[in-house]
Structure 1
Amino acid sequence: MRDYSEYTEYIVERTKELLGIDSPSGYTREVSGYLMDLYRGLGYEPELTVKGGVVVKIADGECSGADGCGKADPAAGAIMLEAHVDTLGAMVAEVSSTGRLHLTPVGGMNANNAEAENCRVITRGGKVYTGTFQLKNASIHVNDNYNEVKRSYGEMEVLLDEIVRSKEDVLALGIMPGDFVCFEPRTVVTESGFIKSRFLDDKLSTGILLGFAKYLKDEGIRPARTIYQHITVFEEVGHGGCASIPADVTEVLSVDMGCVGDGLGCDECQVSICAKDSRGPYHYDVVSGLIDAAKRAEADFAVDVYPHYGSDADAALTAGYDVRHGLIGPGVYASHGYERSHKKGVENTFKLLKAYLA
């Protein structure tokens, strides 16, 4: 059996590059530009959506919904693979009288998961300032209630790495409410194959889709189905997949993070196939087809039910699209915190995509 490890390494390198670009929901222009350039370099013709996402056709199949094939057999219609490149983050809500920044979260960024994290504040004028997100009165030798205080946005603040002692000092830097705050990802790839970083959700799966696009181009493969990829930029706030689905698409497959935790079967080395999330069950035929493909590919997989989850595929159905939907992804532990996956999870997700589509 052929070794496809070159694509795993390609995926990991692209993921590292993506993780190095700040892109909380609403501040994604730079990362979208990176994707547009990368797809063009692979020989594709990507399009930038009005919302700022990237859509690209990576395979022109023999049959699609536009000419009636999809209506007769949805499995023969075009498929859209979706991943998202927007991440969690925060925004300046208030500048305090002492020159500290009070934040409001962007997406599900938990304050307790970001305590003592380095961050960047990006002003509307394009300046970037660094700081640290800390508990108020963060010196344990001074604060009698340090251990008892709940880590919440009301109890935490950003200390700028600037000599500022008042609200006026901060405003003079050009910082104001509405400025984005981006947290340090701290990306590490270990010799044993673990990939550790904030925001693997969902830059790791975006890297997997890039690797799959490269694979089709390198190998000259023409799948039976037309395949689009949509890298969305508002998934973390719920409406990334609500638009920009081509008319011939009969199936939407989100490639996002696979949940790892108590009560679930998946680990970081596997590909997860989601049967149901908090929005309801995924399409029966799609889930069954993914399971069959994983078995054919001898991919290490788990089928799980996610208790607290929603995907771009869910968003597409909520927006009224008449499509079948599914969700897969490499296992990721500590979701929305300092996340961890493994190269084997990447490999198994890649195997599943190949068997299901190519």
Structure 2
Amino acid sequence: MTRVPIDSHYLKHILVALLNIPSPSGYTDQIVHFVGQELQKLGIAHNVTRRGAIRATLKGRMRDTLDRAVTVHLDTLGAMVRRVKPNGRLAIASVGTWSSRFAEGGRVTIYADSGPIRGTVLPLKSSGHAYGEAVDTQPAGWDHVELRVDDEGQQPGETIKTDIQVGDFVAFDALPEISDAGFINARHLDDKAGVAILLTVAKALKEEKIDIPIDCHLIFTIFEEVGSGASAAVYGDVTEMVVIDHAPVAPNQNATEFHAVVCMMDQTGPFDYHLSRKLLALGRENGIDLIKDVFRFYRSDSASAIEAGNDTRTALLGFGLDGSHGYERTHLSSLIAVADLIALYVQSAPTFSRDKDTLASLNGFPHQPDREVIQIET
């Protein structure tokens, strides 16, 4: 295996470009086109499902054998217009699972049939000069925020004239900022940082003309934030899959913003024992900053792939992310560590050659460590 150079300039450039393309779940066509065009520039063959998931392929030297996949998601959190209020402002519902407290103050675009319209999400009591101390006692929740629209036809006291309708999508500005120290602040780093990592790895492998053993599918899903992401584009030919997603950083977590993180279990259960330990071994052998963690309130594309009936080994590799599903921050070193490990994984031999068969005998099936079995004489 070759430790390929990771182009950090390209990684940052493509990440900012991705962040500046709105893509809440259900409104992802634009980013699908962007990623497809980027894959075309890199000379990577790809197809698109009916709804827009992308399945690209890096060809391996072994034919008619088992395949692997690396999966990321293009969709982000967002909102949808729930009601046009008498005062001209909008009640909104969340797209994806996130707290309204992180929506407050967000600049947004409403995608009306007549074209995009700008606005700001505010708490119902948004001015201390008007409401006094009541601004500090208002509950948090989507029923306690509203969207102020930058439109003269939606000012209070006038007849409301608007093209905005119930069901229009609302996308929140990402506002990316990368510091000289390597910190990256933005909304929607989950999972556009993962997408940038995967494209950067693909670019490195192509430019270095790396020979990989088996076909590796690069899968970009579009409904992860609402739970059904990898139920499409992962087929029976994929025997093992590594998902790249964020690793939440918090006082009760092991993850940091500076490491690659192997998640051993999330709320849907443990990840594959052998594939997870393979990633850990690759990290140790190649000096990659790598740690383990368990996420109790988290699910990923792995869950939707398994729930769709795929008998696929799955593992989760995360970049450390502080303030997930809110005002997010990571560090370039974490992204590069994940990229290094993914590039090595793609070059590695299949975890188990017997996995090429949907059903096989017990011969060659792996063992997990066990305590010594005591034979009892009879």
**Which residue of the partner structure matches residue 165 of structure 1?**
155
Please state if 1:331 is matched with 2:320: yes
For the residues of structure 1 that align with 2:325 and 2:159, how far apart are their CA atoms?
Answer: 33
Structure 1 residue 2 displacement after superposition: 7.3
* Maintained 8 Å contact 2:236/2:310: no
**Which residue of the partner structure matches residue 249 of structure 1?**
238
Partner AA of 1:59 in structure 2: K
For the residues of structure 2 that align with 1:169 and 1:209, how far apart are their CA atoms?
Answer: 50
Report the CA distance shift for 1:169/1:281 in structure 2 as closer, same or farther (over 3 A): farther
The correspondence of residues 234-245 of structure 1 with structure 2, limited to 5 A, is 234-245=223-234
Structure 1 residue 166 displacement after superposition: 5.6
For the residues of structure 2 that align with 1:142 and 1:231, how far apart are their CA atoms?
Answer: 47
For the residues of structure 1 that align with 2:167 and 2:259, how far apart are their CA atoms?
Answer: 39
RMSD of Structure 2 on Structure 1 (CA): 1.7
Partner AA of 2:56 in structure 1: V
Please state if 1:140 is matched with 2:128: yes
State the Cα deviation string for residues 143-177 of structure 1 (Å, max 9, x = none).
1411011121111101111222369955x331000
**Which residue of the partner structure matches residue 130 of structure 1?**
118
Structure 1 residue 45 displacement after superposition: 1.7
Percentage of identical aligned residues? 31
Following superposition, which runs of at least 4 residues in structure 1 exceed 6 angstroms of deviation?
Answer: none
**Which residue of the partner structure matches residue 23 of structure 2?**
23
Partner AA of 1:37 in structure 2: Q
The correspondence of residues 244-323 of structure 1 with structure 2, limited to 5 A, is 244-323=233-312
Partner AA of 1:102 in structure 2: A
Please state if 1:205 is matched with 2:194: yes
Partner AA of 1:233 in structure 2: I
State the Cα deviation string for residues 252-303 of structure 1 (Å, max 9, x = none).
2111112211222221111010000000000000111010011112110110
For the residues of structure 1 that align with 2:294 and 2:164, how far apart are their CA atoms?
Answer: 43
The correspondence of residues 168-187 of structure 1 with structure 2, limited to 5 A, is 170=160, 172-187=161-176
For the residues of structure 2 that align with 1:217 and 1:261, how far apart are their CA atoms?
Answer: 36
State the Cα deviation string for residues 41-63 of structure 1 (Å, max 9, x = none).
11112211112111100233415
Structure 1 residue 80 displacement after superposition: 1.0
Structure 1 residue 218 displacement after superposition: 0.3
**Which residue of the partner structure matches residue 366 of structure 2?**
none
For the residues of structure 2 that align with 1:37 and 1:167, how far apart are their CA atoms?
Answer: 47
Structure 2 runs not aligned, ≥5 long: 348-378
Structure 1 residue 230 displacement after superposition: 0.7
Report the CA distance shift for 1:117/1:330 in structure 2 as closer, same or farther (over 3 A): same
**Which residue of the partner structure matches residue 353 of structure 1?**
342
Structure 1 runs not aligned, ≥5 long: 70-76
Report the CA distance shift for 1:168/1:210 in structure 2 as closer, same or farther (over 3 A): farther
* Maintained 8 Å contact 1:23/1:85: yes
Report the CA distance shift for 1:251/1:145 in structure 2 as closer, same or farther (over 3 A): same
Report the CA distance shift for 1:276/1:167 in structure 2 as closer, same or farther (over 3 A): farther
* Maintained 8 Å contact 1:97/1:167: no
For the residues of structure 1 that align with 2:199 and 2:4, how far apart are their CA atoms?
Answer: 18
Structure 1 residue 307 displacement after superposition: 1.1
Q: Which residue of the other structure, out of 77, 94, 99, is the alignment partner of 1:88?
A: 77
Structure 1 residue 357 displacement after superposition: 2.1
**Which residue of the partner structure matches residue 32 of structure 2?**
32
State the Cα deviation string for residues 292-347 of structure 1 (Å, max 9, x = none).
01111211011000011101011100111011001002111110001011110011
TM-score, normalising length: structure 2: 0.88
Structure 1 residue 97 displacement after superposition: 0.7
What is the count of residue pairs matched by the alignment?
A: 344
For the residues of structure 2 that align with 1:97 and 1:256, how far apart are their CA atoms?
Answer: 41
For the residues of structure 1 that align with 2:77 and 2:45, how far apart are their CA atoms?
Answer: 29
The correspondence of residues 67-82 of structure 1 with structure 2, limited to 5 A, is 67=64, 69=65, 77-82=66-71
* Maintained 8 Å contact 2:4/2:340: no
Structure 1 residue 225 displacement after superposition: 2.0
* Maintained 8 Å contact 2:100/2:142: yes
**Which residue of the partner structure matches residue 350 of structure 2?**
none
